[in-house]
Structure 1
Amino acid sequence: MQGYEIVHFSQIDGEFEGFDDEVLFQLMDGTCWVQDEYKYWYYYSYCPQVHILRRNGRLYLQVDGQNEIVPIRQIDGVMKSRINGDFKGWEGETSYQLQNGQVWQQSQYQYQYKYAHRPEVLIYNSGGGNVMHVAGTSAKVRRVK
């Protein structure tokens, strides 16, 4: 892309389903990035290669071979675990116990059904509270134990 400098090249760790609102991108190199501005674009790919681009001091994510980009910011302090048992999505005040003994509860209403057995969980502070990312979905959460 003209006017953009490629500053990092990696690969998405797992499924990529495009851009939406505050999507978390975990890369194979262990870094995590979050979408910094709302933009919807659906594109499915498993472990696609991605470029981190810079223009005017701002960072963007681009899937290799695609023209769409989205502003991103790197996040640190991402906690990783797994849900003990089944994940059935978000219902409003859903609570989940993690393998590490912590219990997290949904803190903002949102309904979304998604089933997964013992899925990986990523929890990070988005700047406006904690967000739990599970099986391609995410919701704002608070720790209750």
Structure 2
Amino acid sequence: MQGYEIVHSSQIDGEFEGFNDEVLFQLMDGTCWVQDEYNYWYHYSYCPQVNILRGNGRLYIQVDGQNEIVPVRQIDSVIKSRISGEFKGWEGETSYELMNGQVWQQSHYKYKYKYAHNPEVLIYNPGGGHIMQVAGTSAKVRRVK
């Protein structure tokens, strides 16, 4: 893209389902980037190549040669674990125990059914509270143990 310089290149670690709001992008090189501005754009790809671009004093992520970009910032304190047992989505006050012993509870109402057994979990705080990302869905959470 003209006017931008590539400052970092890697691959998404797993599925990419586009941009939304405060989405976490975990890269195969171990770095994590969080979407810094709301922009919805759906594009599915498995382990796509990504570029972190610098332009206009900000950083952006560009996926797999697409023209869409979104502002991002690097985030360091990401909790990575798995849910002990079944994940059945979000029901309003859902709690999940992680294999690392922590227990997290949904803090804002959201209903979405999604089933997975022992799925990987990423928990991060983009600035307005913690978000748990699991099985292609996410919800705001708070730690209860």
Q: Does TM, normalized by the shorter one, top 0.5?
A: yes
Give the structure 2 partner of residue 96 of structure 1: 96
Q: Distance in 1 between matches of 2:110 and 2:126?
A: 17
Give the structure 2 partner of residue 57 of structure 1: 57
The aligned amino acid for 1:91 is E
Alignment of 1:20-31 (within 5 A): 20-31=20-31
Deviations along 1:49-86, one digit per CA (max 9) or x if unpaired, are 00000112201000122111111111111111100011
Q: Distance in 2 between matches of 1:42 and 1:64?
A: 13
Give the structure 2 partner of residue 143 of structure 1: 143
Normalised to the residue count of structure 1, the TM-score between the two structures is 0.97
- SS in structure 2 at match of 1:71: strand
Alignment of 1:1-145 (within 5 A): 1-145=1-145
Matched pairs, number: 145
Return the offset for 1:138: 1.1
RMSD of aligned alpha carbons: 0.8
- SS in structure 2 at match of 1:77: coil
The aligned amino acid for 1:107 is S
The gaps in structure 2 that reach 5 residues or longer are none
Return the offset for 1:17: 0.6
Return the offset for 1:35: 0.8
User: Stretches of 4+ moved more than 4 A in 1?
Assistant: none
- SS in structure 1 at match of 2:51: strand
The aligned amino acid for 2:78 is V
Return the offset for 1:113: 1.6
Normalised to the residue count of structure 2, the TM-score between the two structures is 0.97
